[in-house]
Structure 1
Amino acid sequence: MDLGLEGVAAEEAELLKRNVLFSRHEELKAWARSNSLWPLTFGLACCAIEMIATRGSLFVADRFGFFFRNSPLQADVMIVSGSVTKKMAPILRRLSDQMAEPRWVITMGSCATAGGPYVRSYSVVKGVDQIVPVDVYIPGCPPSPVALIYGFQKLRAKIRAEARRGREVTARG
């Protein structure tokens, strides 16, 4: 990268290259967003227990920069954990719409991902991606808290990769 250091002594130019970080504004915003994700707790079934365990003393998700919120107005990541019924689908959509942009969705467990063992039931939605766009799928029945933390790491990588490619950092576009 040409830093425009013509007319500067070679020693000073080398010192600048070692001590000054150059980056794009979008990449800096993506770095800040990816390191302070605030998930909305939306537990519907047994996977919610594993999501709650992620906040517990053994895993402490706060040290990774995930601060769980109970209000969609304060959250930017929705974790859908458990089977979503057709009666619950409009509520899930409304909560997603109340979240500020940019927002992301993580599905946790086989029920939220594809309907799970209830896939042939008349009342269960066959995947949350039919209601809201999903960014990260975490498989398992139920997935462990370690898998949820890994899913957050994948979401971080996705946010940063979108900023490097020059796209607006959003899950909706």
Structure 2
Amino acid sequence: MAQEGTLEHGFATAKLDELVNWARTGSLWPMTFGLACCAVEMMQAGAARYDLDRFGMLFRPSPRQSDVMIVAGTLTNKMAPALRRVYDQMPEPKWVISMGSCANGGGYYHYSYSVVRGCDRIVPVDVYVPGCPPTAEALIYGILQLQKKIRATGPVSRRRELLEAKRHLEGRPA
């Protein structure tokens, strides 16, 4: 009878959510979406000196096998539909890291006719990594911030975040 009471108040499910989020933070599989010079820094973060494997990150070539997308570099209008298509192919739960000034807001090419002024206009972004290009240390810090966010976010509030982001991208009020 006591177990039913604890389940009724959400105690056991809250602990289960914490356990699942803890497991997710230790096994993030990023899919690289390298578009420009920031991709070189992303590759450096995966190399021997910084070794993202120690954070449980294993780069995957397919969106269907990954849960984190790292958008690195200048996003053009021509690449925007491809970015959205790849994002839609990723399984839930999925997160996006925007890496570099160009991915964050257009960067140096902000006023160009062919550049999207931030990848957050196409996909919902969870973590922004500033810099032109950001260093490997900055990317690792962004990954640690994403892990912190995953630990703090439950599945219900994550769904709410994604619905709000979807409304924002479609131009509807929240």
TM superposition shift of 1:167: 3.1
| Structure 2 SS opposite 1:147 | helix
The corresponding residue for 1:167 is: 156
List alignment gaps of at least 5 residues for structure 1. Answer: 5-22
TM-score (norm 1): 0.83
CA RMSD of aligned residues (A): 1.8
The corresponding residue for 2:47 is: 56
| Structure 2 SS opposite 1:69 | coil
Structure 2 residue 98 is the aligned partner of structure 1 residue 107: yes
TM superposition shift of 1:68: 0.7
User: For 1:158 and 1:151, how far apart are their aligned partners in 2?
Assistant: 10
TM-score (norm 2): 0.83
Amino acid at match of 1:63: R
Amino acid at match of 1:150: Y
How many residue pairs get matched? 152
Match of 1:41 among 32, 40, 43: 32
1:29-69 deviations in whole A, cap 9, x for unaligned?
01101111000011000000000001111011001111111
The corresponding residue for 1:93 is: 84
User: For 2:16 and 2:145, how far apart are their aligned partners in 1?
Assistant: 22
The corresponding residue for 1:141 is: 132
User: For 1:67 and 1:168, how far apart are their aligned partners in 2?
Assistant: 26
TM superposition shift of 1:172: 2.0
Q: Percent identity?
A: 58
Structure 2 residue 110 is the aligned partner of structure 1 residue 119: yes
1:77-120 deviations in whole A, cap 9, x for unaligned?
00000000000000000000000000000000000000001000
List alignment gaps of at least 5 residues for structure 2. Answer: 4-13, 164-174
Q: Which has the higher helix share?
A: 2
| Structure 2 SS opposite 1:27 | helix
1:30/1:169 contact within 8 Å kept? no
The corresponding residue for 1:128 is: 119
